[in-house]
Amino acid sequence: MVRIINTRIAKDVVLLQLQDDETRYFESLWEIPEGVTYNSYVVIGDGGAIVVDGWKIGFEGAFVNEIRSVVDLRDVKAVVVHHMEPDHSGSLRELLSSLSSDVKVFGHPLARDMIQSFYGIKPNLTAVSDGVAVGIAGKTLRFFHTPWLHWPETIVSVLDGSVLFSCDVFGSYGIPSTPFFEDLSPADQERFLWYAKKYFANIIGKYVDWVLKNLEKLSKVASLSNIEVVAPAHGPMHRGVKTMASLYSSWAGGDAEKGKVMVLYMSMYGFIEKAVNVLLDELQKLGAKVKVYRFLDKHRSPISDMLGDAIDAEALVIAVPTYDADMFPFATLLLHVITSKIPKNKKVFVVANFGWGPIAGRRVSEMLKAAGFNVVDVIEFRGGRIEESLQRLREGAAKLLHASKQ
């Protein structure tokens, strides 16, 4: 059941948070048993109010009602559209039809056509240029273009120099028990940093170069050190930008947790699993921190979590059976998301097997190499005959860790 939180998070900012534990697959892709929130903000100034972003498409009526509980809709002077993905922009048509006709909409120049094509409306859009400051309702919003975080039209804004509305940037999955990250228990803080990393890997991971560029730009021009509140569109707010900016810089830069190995394997009848178990034993002996994701006859790991653990692993193990003279079908999806969402500065050990003809090992390693990963070894064994590969499996484990420690 969805739940609505309506609470003041700063002197002049009210959080309208839709807590969604019904969506099973974020973007119809990413498993999120932890749920997700859509955070909208209402800024209240002397001269009226500003609505910042909105809720997922499908909750238009509830969203407008919630705004009404905070301000008289006639006092809303402006709507800010940081990002056009419909988990934030989905209420635009209903919202704008409830507001006075001269309400201004602020967004990236590219947002104009998108609003029209998404929702069939032509709003009174003020296309903001990068760095521009605008006075609205007695408040000042300064806008910054942050292209490809994670769409081309993405922008962020800073309210009176102190509140950063960052939209998807610095967002996370999960439904926090309290609005601010800093007010969560230490265990919950750890959990929400994991959700933020998982979200980053799933949603923003393809655009790590742009993360670095945009962070560099923002730190130069947006006086990030003066930011008191980071108000993203998903998950908890943060007091100050330091924690999240440093994590983003680290994730996007390909920093890895020392000794962390993400092991992904698919096994139909246990042969691949037998080889992976040898590797896992060896990795454990070598003190690696191993995260295992499995696609088996009774179990399927979440792809979303797999990416979350791949992004800061030092090395990956990818183990895939041959199937119908090709790689195991699920590997097409898994390799697609790994090669598009994960930094390429990782060593990968490929394990494959086959019944009557070796295919998967070559194909998987070709895909990984083409994407830029460093494939340190490919072991391809027939059936369950791992005996002659034991030495190479053990050496491979060592190679992954030692090579990555160089």
Tell the smallest beta-carbon distance from residue 298 to a copy of itself (Å).
Answer: 5
Residue 49 touches a copy of itself, criterion: CB under 8 A: no
* Strand extents, DSSP E, 212-327: 229-232, 238-239, 260-266, 289-295, 315-323, 326-327
Residue 1 touches a copy of itself, criterion: CB under 8 A: no
Residue 286 touches a copy of itself, criterion: CB under 8 A: no
Tell the smallest beta-carbon distance from residue 24 to a copy of itself (Å).
Answer: 5
Residues 344, 375 contacting (CB under 8 angstroms): no
Cβ of 220: how many Cβ atoms within 10 Å? Answer: 9
Binding mask 365-384 for a copy of itself (x = CB under 8 A): ----------------xxxx
DSSP 116-179: HHHHS----EEEPPTT-EEEETTEEEEEEE-TTSSSTT-EEEEETTTEEEEETTT--SS--SSS
Residue 330 touches a copy of itself, criterion: CB under 8 A: yes
For a copy of itself, which residue of 3, 8, 24, 74 counts as binding (CB under 8 A)? 24
Residues 6+ apart with CB under 8 A from 268: 297, 321, 323, 328
* CA 377, chain centre distance (Å): 30
Q: Which residue type does 67 have? A: I
Residue 114 touches a copy of itself, criterion: CB under 8 A: yes
| 74 vs 300, beta carbon nearer a copy of itself | 300
Residues 6+ apart with CB under 8 A from 220: none
Residue 3 touches a copy of itself, criterion: CB under 8 A: no
Tell the smallest beta-carbon distance from residue 162 to a copy of itself (Å).
Answer: 31
Rule CB under 8 A: which of 240-269 touch a copy of itself? Answer: 266-269
| 119 vs 144, beta carbon nearer a copy of itself | 119
Tell the smallest beta-carbon distance from residue 151 to a copy of itself (Å).
Answer: 6
Q: Are strands 76-81 and 104-107 parallel, antiparallel or unpaired?
A: parallel
For a copy of itself, which residue of 86, 253, 254, 358 counts as binding (CB under 8 A)? 86
* DSSP symbol at 222: S
| 193 vs 296, beta carbon nearer a copy of itself | 296
For a copy of itself, which residue of 270, 281, 402, 403 counts as binding (CB under 8 A)? 270
Residue 296 touches a copy of itself, criterion: CB under 8 A: yes
Residue 390 touches a copy of itself, criterion: CB under 8 A: no
Q: Are strands 229-232 and 155-159 parallel, antiparallel or unpaired?
A: unpaired
For a copy of itself, which residue of 151, 195, 199, 251 counts as binding (CB under 8 A)? 151
Tell the smallest beta-carbon distance from residue 201 to a copy of itself (Å).
Answer: 13
Q: Which residue type does 239 have? A: R
Residue 288: strand, helix, or coil: coil
Size of the site for a copy of itself (CB under 8 A): 60
The continuous run of DSSP H or E covering 377 comes out as strand 374-382
Residue 102 touches a copy of itself, criterion: CB under 8 A: no
Residues 114, 125 contacting (CB under 8 angstroms): no
For a copy of itself, which residue of 284, 355, 390, 402 counts as binding (CB under 8 A)? 355
| Tokens 């810089």 belong to residue | 249
| 206 vs 289, beta carbon nearer a copy of itself | 206
| 113 vs 182, beta carbon nearer a copy of itself | 113
Q: Are strands 155-159 and 139-145 parallel, antiparallel or unpaired?
A: antiparallel
Q: CA-to-CA distance for 217 and 352, rounded, in angstroms?
A: 44
Residue 360 touches a copy of itself, criterion: CB under 8 A: no
Q: CA-to-CA distance for 324 and 306, rounded, in angstroms?
A: 25
* DSSP symbol at 110: T
Q: Which residue type does 343 have? A: P
Binding site for a copy of itself (CB under 8 A): 22-29, 56-58, 84-87, 90, 110, 113-114, 116-120, 150-153, 206, 266-271, 295-300, 323-324, 326, 328-330, 332-333, 336-337, 340, 355-356, 381-385, 387
